[in-house]
Amino acid sequence: MSSLGAYLKSCREEKGISLQKIQEDTKIRLKYLEAIEADRLEILPGEVYIRGFLKTYASSVGLSEGEVMGRYEKMLRSHSIIEADSTDGDAHANEPAIITTTKIPDLSTQKSLFRTKTRFYVYGLGVMIVLALIFVPLFLAMRDDALIGAVDAVVDTLGEGDPGEENAVVLNNDGGEAVWPDRRADMKTIALSVHAECWVDVRIDGVNTEQRTLQPGERPQWSGRNIRMVLGNAGGVTLFEDGVSKGVPGRDSQRLELEFTVHDE
């Protein structure tokens, strides 16, 4: 049976579809498409993206997602068996030709060592608990003071600025982001709170603005009259439109295209 990449390439060429066409339709970079057909999946961003890209590729050339993912799972199992056989062979090769005897330590010595180690772990755990009781409340108090200071600074800045300027971003009480109430009515502001790796492609007012892999903890945002966005892992982010949470827009590994437009009254 041919490899997964060779199978996909053969099906694509049989239907006369170019990689450039698949790139335009799916927004997957050409280098990732070439890596899939060359069975070089290790250069893709991660397991979530490998599965998502394979499903999207299959759909774009009219193949069954189930069949493609079945071939991928079979390939993973075959690699696991090969690696296991290789490990067993190395283990037997390193076995000593002469069996030597080892002196068994005295049982009383083992008990003494066990008691010593136990006391060490108990003392260490006690020290950690005491340090936590001292420093955790101090850290929380410092964090609250810093949060209040940051909000006050943003409020002061907004009070001194031009009322026609674009919105500033301030912090909610829970540490999340929100758009200042006096936002511009002629602009859309889209923000993401990232909790799992997610590839994103953003076009603002017809201009390619950003294309990269977002990491957990990031909170990017974009503003414009027309925002088009492609998410490679729709279940890995929470979406905010003009400061209002829209929740998680899709499922894990799902590729999702979104568009936000300001409608003139």
Residue 229 DSSP code: E
- Residue 261, φ and ψ in degrees, nearest 5: -135, 140
pTM tops 0.85:
no
- pLDDT at residue 262 greater than cutoff 50: yes
- What is the per-residue pLDDT for 144? 63
- Say what the pLDDT of residue 122 is: 82
Mean pLDDT of the region 181-191: 77
- Please write the tens of the pLDDT for every residue from 203-212: 999 999 999 9
Q: Provide, rounded to the nearest whole percent, the portion of the chain with pLDDT above 70.
A: 71
Of the two residues 238 and 76, the one the predictor is more confident about is 238
Distances (CA, A) of 71 to 38, 51, 57, 66, 189: 15, 12, 14, 9, 42
All structural domains of the chain, each given as residue ranges with its CATH number in brackets, are: 4-91 (1.10.260.40), 169-261 (no CATH)
Strands annotated E in the chain: 169-171, 177-179, 188-194, 198-204, 207-214, 221-224, 226-231, 237-241, 244-247, 256-261
Residues 6+ apart with CB under 8 A from 212: 199, 200
101-153 per-position pLDDT tens digit:
444 455 566 666 777 778 878 878 888 898 888 888 777 767 766 655 664 55
